[in-house]
Structure 1
Amino acid sequence: MDFQFLIDGFTEGLQQMTWLEAVAVVFGIASVFYSMREHIWVYPTGIVSTLIYVWICLQYKLYADMGINAYYFSMSIFGWYVWTHPKEGEKVLPVTWLKPSGWAISIGIFLVSYLVLYLVLSQFTDSDLPYWDSFTTASAFVGMWLMAKKKVENWIAWIITDLVSVPLYFHKGLILTSFQFLFFTILATLGLIAWIKSAKNYES
């Protein structure tokens, strides 16, 4: 894949992009920026983006991704509440690291959701990419849960999700969305660095 091919693909994506996809992309990027800064606006901007992507994924037969965006919506409501209702004596919900039990729960969520999603997609839908679709959805389940809990490791889950989503959406012809996930990978890496520093500050 040469550089010119990427430029051509991006140009084609812009030409084929609907206004709805453009709005979803803009609000999605805004949500990641706010998340990096631990700003509560991560949730309202994310809600707008995810609701739009529910519709887009339905049109492109990405049923698991449609489900994950519906999950994003519900978890955004949950995260919005958790972030604005810290424990007694705390002004804000602090950024913390997962304990061993948290890692076990996260891995369990991923494995169970991946297996269930793959079986459903392969047996009961016309999904043509059940492996990819299930993987990105399962890893995103974990990422959204950990973000609502303000765990540093949420960014690791997002980096994995974004890296796999790039070729998935490119293959589906959603070129601009594919580039969005490439950009998200960079932002998630920066977010991981920022939250590591934040966790250290809360600990000190």
Structure 2
Amino acid sequence: MIEYFFSQYRDYPTFDIILEIVAVIFGLFSVWYAKKDNILVFPTGIVSTLIFVYLLWKWTLWGDMMINGYYFVMSIYGWYHWTRKKEDTVEFPISKISRSEKRIAIILFIFTVAFVVSVYHYFHKFTTWYAYVDTFITGIFFIGMWLMAKRKIENWIFWIIGDVISIPLYFIKGFTFTSFQYLVFTIVAVYGYLEWKKTLNSSPKMELQKS
């Protein structure tokens, strides 16, 4: 069993294996803090994404590298966005996506997929079937991260879709630790959605709408 799951690490540098494990641990912390609507989601996420950018660059997985680079940038934006307050009241609490934000999400998805496809074509990376899946997942995760930075509850739906696809995908690519990470991500994302939904339904604004 161990040989089946971890044989691909036999020829990996020990330092890279340790880095991947550290990145996975911080990634798990980040998702857990996101579930709890805790601002620590961003500093822990920044550590994880920076490490993954380096590793994915070494592994020449450009689509995955761009995702994590984007996560890094959006984590800085989200960190700032979540701290904004008006008279000690959080300016942007958990909320639902608006109609205009839905349009932006669609545009973001199309632009992201088109950009990744062009990069993959340029570097001749469409050599495996999962390279095509990468382009789709990149678009999904870009929307998920953007919505999380804006504290929109729908971000969890996109995380769940992307995480479920990523579990077998990373295992096929040979990154077992990262594959296990996405398995945990999926579970936490489901609970995160339920917890955010409970918080949203109990907010004063939602209570007024119900009454």
CA distance in 2, matches of 1:148, 1:181: 20
What is the TM-score of this pair, normalised by structure 1? Answer: 0.89
CA distance in 2, matches of 1:102, 1:197: 22
Change in CA separation of 1:167 and 1:23 when aligned onto 2, cut-off 3 Å: same
| Number of equivalences | 198
Structure 1 partner of 2:56:
57
Structure 1 partner of 2:156:
155
Taking the TM superposition and a 5 Å limit, the aligned residue runs for 1:108-127 are: 108-121=107-120, 123-127=121-125
State which drifts further: 155-164 or 126-135: 126-135
CA distance in 2, matches of 1:132, 1:59: 20
Checking the alignment, whether the CA contact within 8 Å between 1:152 and 1:192 is kept in structure 2 is yes
What is the TM-score of this pair, normalised by structure 2? Answer: 0.86
Checking the alignment, whether the CA contact within 8 Å between 2:93 and 2:151 is kept in structure 1 is yes
SS in structure 2 of the partner of residue 18 of structure 1: helix
Change in CA separation of 1:74 and 1:153 when aligned onto 2, cut-off 3 Å: same
The aligned amino acid for 2:32 is F
User: For each residue in 1:125-153, what CA deviation from the matched residue of structure 2 results, as whole angstroms up to 9, or x when unmatched?
Assistant: 14234312211211111011000110000
State which drifts further: 162-171 or 183-192: 162-171
Q: Which runs of 5+ in 1 are unaligned?
A: none
CA distance in 2, matches of 1:114, 1:120: 10
Larger Rg belongs to:
2
CA distance in 1, matches of 2:39, 2:7: 35
CA distance in 2, matches of 1:57, 1:136: 15
Quote how far apart the aligned CAs of 1:163 are. Answer: 1.3
Q: Which runs of 5+ in 2 are unaligned?
A: none
CA distance in 2, matches of 1:175, 1:188: 20
Checking the alignment, whether the CA contact within 8 Å between 2:82 and 2:90 is kept in structure 1 is no
User: For each residue in 1:95-121, what CA deviation from the matched residue of structure 2 results, as whole angstroms up to 9, or x when unmatched?
Assistant: 001122222221221122112211221
Structure 2 partner of 1:39:
38
What RMSD over aligned residues (CA atoms) do the two structures have, in Å? 2.0
